[in-house]
Amino acid sequence: MQRTSLYIDGKFGAPENRNYFPAVNPATEEPFAEVAAGQAPDIDRAVRAARRAFDSGDWSGLDGRQRADMLRRVAQGIRTRQKEIALLETRDNGKPIPEAEWDVGDAAFCFDYYADLAEEQAGRSPEEVDVGDPRFQARILREPLGVVGAITPWNFPLLMAVWKAAPALAAGCTIVLKPSELCSLSCHLLAEVIDAAGVPPGVFNLITGTGPEAGQALADHPLVDKMAFTGSVTTGRKVMQAASAGIRTVSLELGGKSPFVIFEDCDIDKAVEWILFGIFWNKGEVCSATSRVLVQRGIFERLLDRLRSATEAIEIGSGEAPGVKLGPLVSKGQYDKVLGTIETGKLTAARLVTGGGRPANLDRGYFLNPTIFADVPTDSEIWREEIFGPVLCINAFDTEQQALDLANDSKYGLAAAVMSDDLERCERVAAKLRAGIIWVNCSQPTFTQVPWGGYKMSGIGRELGRAGFDAYFETKQVTRFDHNECWGWYLDAQE
């Protein structure tokens, strides 16, 4: 069985304790690889390597164009190994192969995109600022922030790591990546690609391991300058608490319970297609999943009918099988959590429209039927809490204001979507939805060039786009006294 290693200071090697844990294929429930279980001593070695690499200036001091060349080699390396990485991602996570290939393509693009920004930044001169006193000259410089600790989840294992690694490396930072213990393998391949691209030792380090043993040690490490985290609110809070002890910057991308508002003037098939993609893509294990759908009453029952039949036609099975659109949930733990939440939903006054349990023909693997609840009490757990599985809640509304009130009544604010043939109305609603990502007449398409992140408890900071690059810089002012006279506060000004 394949065994993974840690990647520290440019070398692949075993964890100090020589411990490993199994990677389990969620479609078969069988272990298929052994993952290195890094712990605090490994994290410490990796952070020190990243610190040395940063402080030496071997990476941060390079011209952005040189870093860009290296990052483009990483992008090319990912593309060359796209099929291999996608297959591994599917075995580890369960997602259908076309979705995994999509992720790998996006990961390569992300490296190219930030390579372009690194190059652009290198060609820019520092901003000069008029401070209103001719004796002084002030400049604003941007410098790479330092050592980044990145903790990432299992739903897009490669992509969430790349959303952090690509801009951090492009900016000139060094990084220690701790992926989720549930899906670590594609990040191991990423380390191989980065190594082969010739990125200097210590610039990128990979420690696989559990959250409490490796993740917490990274979040607590005093030599880390910034923590970039994607995951649950509970763990995000711990990362932020640890950062408060060391006064470190954090970016947090946490959960969501995103609404999708559908007005009765729109085409029902179009709406159904985007609703399906909004909640069943990636098995609903998507932080921005539009898991609360609000449909104007005039088309509610017709749309629900069409949605039910389309949902029941979704092909469920191993992500490796052709034509499958819904793979198994990532793990036994996630399967039990989602099934448990469905059971609590059945106890409410909500109407179970379809799904609600295991597909009868699949007795192994963490498979669930795509599930829809309608007429859901808005104080119930299934309406308010993130489920992170293929479970949709759908309710009717009458007026635009009522839709907005229902949509915004959430502790989360990651994403929201609106659909109507009346574009003015879409824009009006988009302006009033309290979320960091708004989709109009669609749900979920995500582009590297635009910022990603949430309002309220969905997080702090933005990834992707220019904002995702800026997040890896410090700002420095250099103010120069440029005058022949003495300043004249304590001593007299002289000619």
- Per CB under 6 A, the segment of 85-93, 137-145, 213-221, 293-301 that binds ligand TXE is 213-221
CA distance 352 to 494: 86
CA distance 178 to 37: 11
> Both tokens of residue 325?
């659109």
From residue 310 to residue 349, the character string flagging contacts with ligand TXE as x (rule: CB under 6 A) and all else as - is ------------------------x--x------------
Q: Please report how close the Cβ of residue 289 comes to ligand TXE at its closest, in angstroms.
A: 9
User: Which of the residues 89, 99, 253, 386 is marked catalytic?
Assistant: 253
The alpha carbon torsion through 4, 6, 12, 17 (nearest 10 deg) reads -90
List, as own/partner pairs, every contact residues 286-289 make where C-beta atoms lie below 8 angstroms and the sequence separation is at least 24, other chains included. Answer: 286/155, 286/388, 286/444, 287/155, 287/230, 287/253, 287/254, 287/255, 287/256, 287/386, 287/414, 287/458, 288/256, 288/258, 288/414, 288/415, 288/437, 288/444, 288/446, 289/256, 289/258, 289/388, 289/444
Nearer to ligand TXE, 60 or 251 (CB): 251
Is 252 one of the binding residues for ligand TXE (CB under 6 A)? no
Is 144 one of the binding residues for ligand TXE (CB under 6 A)? no
Q: How many residues of this chain interact with ligand TXE, rule: CB under 6 A?
A: 29
State which amino acid sits at residue 264.
E
Q: Please report how close the Cβ of residue 147 comes to ligand TXE at its closest, in angstroms.
A: 16
Which one of 144, 215, 413, 436 is in contact with ligand TXE (CB under 6 A)?
215
Q: CB of 373 within 8 A of CB of 351?
A: yes
Query: Which residues lie below 8 Å from residue 117, measured CB to CB, with a gap of 6+?
Result: 167, 170, 466, 469
Q: CB of 320 within 8 A of CB of 90?
A: yes
Is 287 one of the binding residues for ligand TXE (CB under 6 A)? yes
Element at 240 (helix H, strand E): helix 233-246
For this structure, is 320 an active site residue? Answer: no
Q: Please report how close the Cβ of residue 415 comes to ligand TXE at its closest, in angstroms.
A: 11
Is 436 one of the binding residues for ligand TXE (CB under 6 A)? no
- Per CB under 6 A, the segment of 252-260, 310-318, 403-411, 427-435 that binds ligand TXE is 252-260
Element at 171 (helix H, strand E): helix 157-171
Which one of 198, 212, 298, 340 is in contact with ligand TXE (CB under 6 A)?
212
Nearer to ligand TXE, 258 or 420 (CB): 258
Q: Please report how close the Cβ of residue 214 comes to ligand TXE at its closest, in angstroms.
A: 7
Q: What residues numbered 191-210 form the site for ligand TXE, per CB under 6 A?
A: 210
For this structure, is 287 an active site residue? Answer: yes
Nearer to ligand TXE, 90 or 291 (CB): 291
Q: CB of 456 within 8 A of CB of 462?
A: no
Is 380 one of the binding residues for ligand TXE (CB under 6 A)? no
The alpha carbon torsion through 402, 354, 383, 451 (nearest 10 deg) reads -80
- Per CB under 6 A, the segment of 18-26, 172-180, 315-323, 349-357 that binds ligand TXE is 172-180
User: Which of the residues 110, 187, 287, 393 is marked catalytic?
Assistant: 287
Residue that has been written with the tokens 């509610």 in this structure:
300
CA distance 445 to 305: 25
- Per CB under 6 A, the segment of 17-25, 185-193, 249-257, 443-451 that binds ligand TXE is 249-257
* Residues at the contact surface with ligand TXE, assessed by CB under 6 A: 151-155, 178-181, 210-212, 215-216, 219, 230-232, 235, 238-239, 253-255, 287, 334, 337, 386, 388
The set of catalytic residues is 253, 287
